Amino acid sequence: MGNLSSGLEDFFIERTSLTPLIRFKEGRLDIEGLSMPKSSIEFYKPLLDYLEKYSKNPLESTKVNIKLDCFSATSSKSLLDVFRKFEEIHKTKRDVVINWYYKENDENILAAGEDYQSIIRLPFKMIIIGD
């Protein structure tokens, strides 16, 4: 039986008109909404710091759900940094799955997900959601 707790408190950032909801709880990370912060580096730093701690004692299985409506180029780089942290965790023989959600007619979000899928060495699922 794998470990059932990373020993960390849950992580939560409330959604705003320019930033996504970010929630990490019990091995599940959700990032949802718009990601257009003034500074993506500053906005995503607390999450990256949290993931650094999480990577020291990750759960046997981690699920990452990305449901973004739109994101900036700088957010794109920050998301890549987030995925790289999960790549490190995956290399320690832990299960990590990225679920990339996109609306059927949203070619931009689909293309972005496919770009990440080609770069990141993690199980990456493309999931269509209804409008």
Q: Where are the domains of the chain?
A: 11-129
Rounded to a whole number of angstroms, the distance between the first and last alpha carbons of the chain is: 39
- Provide the whole-model pTM: 0.92
31-75 confidence digits (pLDDT tens):
999 999 999 999 999 999 999 999 999 999 999 999 999 999 999
Which residues lie across from 126 on neighbouring strands?
100
Q: Does domain 11-129 have CATH number 1.10.155?
A: no
3-state class (DSSP) for residue 20: coil
DSSP letter at 32?
E
